[in-house]
Structure 1
Amino acid sequence: MNVARLAAVDAAQAARVLSEVREATLSGQRARIAPRPVIEQSWGRMLRSGVDPDRDFRSGLLASEEVLRRREESPLRHVLPVLREGLLSVADVAQHIMVVADADGRVLWREGSPSVLRKADGLGFELGADWREDVVGTNGVGTPAVVRRPVQVFAGEHFVRSHTSWTCTGAPITDPRDGRLIGVVDVSGPLETMHPATLAWVDAVAKLAEARLRELHVTALERLRTVAAPVLARLDGRALVVDEDGWAAAVTGMPYLRRVTLPKSLAPGRRWLPALGSCAVEPLAGGWLLRADDEPPPACATRLVLDLARPGRCKVTVSASAGSWSRELSNRHAELLFLLAEQPGGRGAADLAEDLFGDPSRTVTVRAEMSRIRRYLGGLLEHRPYRISQAAEVEVLLPGDPRDLLPRSTAPAVERRRAAMAGARPTPGTPAP
Structure 2
Amino acid sequence: MNAPSTIDLARLSAMDRAHAALVLKGVRDAMLSGERPRVLPRPVIGDSWGRMILRGVDPDRDVRSRLLSEEELEERRRASPLREILPVLRDALVSVADAAQHIVVVSDADGRVLWREGSAAVLRKADSLGFEPGADWSEEVVGTNGIGTPLVVRRPVQVFSAEHFVQTHHSWTCAGAPVTDPRDGRLLGVVDVSGPLRTIHPATLALVDSVAKLGEARLRDRHVTALDRLRAVAAPVLARLDGRALAVDVHGWTAAVTGMPPADRLTLPKSFGAGRTWLPSLGPCLVEPLPGGWLLRPEDPGDVPRPVAATRLVLDVSSPRRWTLSVLGGAHDWTHELSPRHAELLYLLCTYRTGRTASGLAEDMFGDPARTVTVRAELSRVRRYLGGLLAHRPYRFHEDVDVDVIMPERPADLLPHSMAPAVRAARRRMIL
Instruction: Compute the TM-score of the two structures, normalised by the length of structure 2.
Output: 0.90
- Asked if residue 205 in structure 1 is aligned to residue 211 in structure 2, the reply is yes
* Corresponding residue for residue 188 of structure 2: 182
Is residue 2:402 matched to residue 1:376?
Answer: no
Paired residues of 1:224 and 1:285 also in contact (CA < 8 A)? yes
Tell me whether 1:192 sits opposite 2:198 in the alignment.
Answer: yes
The match for 2:85 among 69, 75, 79 is 79
Q: Could you tell me how far 1:56 is from its partner in structure 2?
A: 1.2
Letter of the structure 2 residue corresponding to residue 71 of structure 1: R
1:395–1:234 Cα change, 3 Å: same
For residues 222 and 50 of structure 1, what CA distance do their matches in structure 2 show?
A: 50
* Amino acid across the alignment from 1:187: V
Aligned-residue offset at 1:181: 1.3
> How many pairs does the alignment contain?
422
Kept after mapping to 1: 8 A contact 2:109/2:188: yes
In the alignment, structure 1 residue 325 sits paired with structure 2 residue 331: no
Among candidates 348, 351, 374, match of residue 339 of structure 1: 348
Once the two structures are superposed, the pairs formed by residues 169-318 of structure 1 within 5 Å of their partners are 169-294=175-300, 295-297=303-305, 301=310, 303-318=312-327
CA distance in 1, matches of 2:293, 2:222: 15
Aligned partner letter, 2:165: F
Instruction: Give the match for residue 142 of structure 2.
Output: 136
CA distance in structure 1 between the aligned counterparts of 2:367 and 2:292, rounded to whole angstroms: 45
Q: Residues 376-400 of structure 1, C-alpha deviation per residue, up to 9 Å, x if partnerless?
A: 3333323344222345443212223
Amino acid across the alignment from 1:389: H
For normalisation by structure 1, the TM-score amounts to 0.90
CA distance in 2, matches of 1:138, 1:246: 36
Secondary structure of 1:352's aligned partner: helix
Cα 1:389–1:227 shift into 2, 3 Å: farther
| Structure 2 unmatched ranges of 5 or more | 1-6
CA RMSD in angstroms, aligned pairs only: 2.3
Instruction: Check 1:239–1:380 CA distance in 2 against 1; reply closer, same or farther (3 A cut).
Output: farther
8 A Cα contact 1:149 1:171, kept in partner: yes
Amino acid paired to 1:406: L
How is 1:27-176 mapped onto 2 (pairs within 5 angstroms)?
27-176=33-182
Secondary structure class of the residue paired with 1:335:
helix
State whether residues 7 and 192 of structure 1, in contact with CA within 8 Å, keep that contact through their aligned partners in structure 2: no
Whole-Å separation in 1 of the counterparts to 2:132 and 2:327: 37
Which structure 1 segments of 5+ residues have no match? 424-433
**1:405-424 → structure 2 map (5 Å cutoff):** 405-423=414-432
Q: Residues 63, 302 of structure 1: CA spacing in aligned structure 2 closer, same or farther, 3 A cutoff?
A: farther
Aligned to 2:376: 367
What's the offset of the Cα at 1:356?
3.7
- Give the Cα separation in 2 of the matches to 1:388 and 1:64: 49
- Pair 1:386-2:395 in alignment: yes
Q: Identity of aligned pairs, percent? A: 66
CA distance in 2, matches of 1:6, 1:412: 29
